Amino acid sequence: MDGFNMPILFQHCKSSIPPCDFKPEPYQVRGLYLRVTYYKKPVFINQGYMQWLWDVDGRRYLDLFAGVATVSVGHCNPKVTETAEKQLRRLWHTTAIYVYPQMQEYAEKLASLLPDPLKVVYFTNSGSEANDLAVLMARLYTGNFDVITLRGSYHGGSPQATGLTSNADYKYPIPSSMGCHNTMCPDVFRGLWGGSHCRDSPVQTIRECSCSPGTNTHTHTHTHILSKSICFFLFSGHCQANDMYIRELNEMFATTVPSRIAAFFAEPIQGVGGAVQFPKNYLKDTYQLVREKGGICIADEVQTGFGRTGSHFWGFQGHNVFPDMVTMAKGIANGFPMGAVVTTAEIARSFGKGVHFNTFGGNPLACAVASSVLDTIKEDKMQENSAEVGTYLLTELAKLRDKYEIIGDVRGKGLQIGVEMVKDKASRDPLPPEAMAEIFEDTKDMGVLIGKGGLYGQTFRIKPPMCITKNDADFFLAVFNQAVQNYMERR
């Protein structure tokens, strides 16, 4: 089957890989000259089709990482591929000093998907470039300099974006962007405060608390919990964990930054940080505080945008907030290098103080591909599929969490999912890297590619193309269950 050595790869897994009619072209390996360290034995990918990848030996893998949440509508999606081929025969590249139909039409189509007054679009080549540009625009517009992000955040690898990023693994011992500060991440699983009704997800944490979906539901049996500073709903239905994290943000305003700031950056769900979700009102309360300090609010939708969270097209919509600026990339063009910043006309006017130019940003080919991606998401109901299959995956993974002591948390929305691994549920200490690697390698060897993330590399990241099916989900669940079971039996 697809070149797999069946006795080796599937002898311990009861589920077989779902069928696929696509046949990859052969490839003869001549040598490997790149440094690749994600797996002990590098996976040498030759071809892809929708949710599937084939290596040079003809082995087929279910791709649940999608090039780091980038292949939004499937590898070599036929609709997008056809559009790209047509555009290649018409116009590859000119430059933004001219007007051409593809840029004009795509900008209008993209802006129509965002709320007023977010209607001015700037194109870049990547998410890092988009976030760099957003910082520059925020500083010009506000006249302020300092920018706040959350610990555990990832906003890119360029010198400027590295300052925004708050994860030591992506930093080097050289100066990065000045004026960037990181506040406590309101992680309701691993953070100081949190509980079982804090986040907008089909699956909540298993932390003990007296949270309730409704109000006035406290009993005397819950009073002992309050002294632990763990999340609980007040009689107004308000979550105290959110209050505690907002208090930490106020401490930053009082001690770390000037009285006026330029911007606050946040991913609606942290991506590289491990699909970390915040208390339901955290972004809403934070946006208010930031605006009081003269700053603008920037939603980094590089990983959460374009329907991936299922319930909404943009991740920020799930928080009931309205950002002043939205940055995006990755799924915008299904893996073709492209990014964008969308902001208001008022903020954009301040950008006229100098000349901004991006040679390749928004070139005709990129815009044609991105436009086809938007059409495909709508026509093939991929946002709806993200909600349906993602919710199924989350609820089934929660059953594995209840089965295994080392699965500490399952979280996310749609097809933006994290599975946090721990030594034990009581301590919530991260599962060591060598243990993570064992499960990771086993999962790959049984035919599924997933990602890793989190501050300690303790979270498996599941962010597949939005075309996956429930059959695919069942195959992954069987494989992952077996990989965890194999580890438990070996230790």
Amino acid letter for position 217: T
CA 80 distance to own-chain centroid: 22
Cβ distance 334 to 367 under 8 Å?
Answer: no
C-beta of residue 483 within 8 angstroms of C-beta of residue 49: no
d(CA 92, CA 87): 7
> Which ranges in the chain are annotated with CATH 3.90.1150.10?
6-63+382-490
Residue 229 in contact with residue 245, Cβ under 8 Å? no
| Lookup: tokens for 89 | 């025969």
Residue 164: per-residue pLDDT: 96
**Which tens digit of pLDDT belongs to each residue from 268-298?**
999 999 999 999 999 999 999 999 999 999 9
The closest of 314, 322, 186 to 243, measured between CA atoms, is 186
pLDDT, one tens digit per residue, over 124-171 is: 999 999 999 999 999 999 999 999 999 999 999 999 999 999 999 999
In this structure, CATH architecture of domain 6-63+382-490: Alpha-Beta Complex (3.90)
Q: Which fold has domain 85-379?
A: Aspartate Aminotransferase; domain 2 (3.40.640)
CB count in 10 Å sphere of residue 391: 19
The tens-digit pLDDT sequence of the chain (491 residues) is 454 433 344 445 657 899 988 888 887 766 655 555 678 888 899 999 999 999 999 999 999 999 999 999 999 999 999 999 999 999 999 887 888 999 999 999 999 999 999 999 999 999 999 999 999 999 999 999 999 999 999 999 999 999 999 999 999 998 888 899 999 999 999 999 998 888 999 999 998 775 555 433 333 223 223 334 344 444 345 678 999 999 999 999 999 999 999 999 999 999 999 999 999 999 999 999 999 999 999 999 999 999 999 999 999 999 999 999 999 999 999 999 999 999 999 999 998 888 888 889 999 999 999 999 999 999 999 999 999 999 999 999 999 999 999 999 999 999 999 999 999 999 999 999 999 999 999 999 999 999 999 999 999 999 999 999 999 999 999 999 999 999 999 98
- The CATH 3.40.640.10 portion of the chain extends over 85-379
Residue 40, class by beta-carbon neighbours within 10 Å (0-12 exposed, 13-18 middle, 19+ buried)? exposed
Q: What is the pLDDT of residue 226?
A: 34
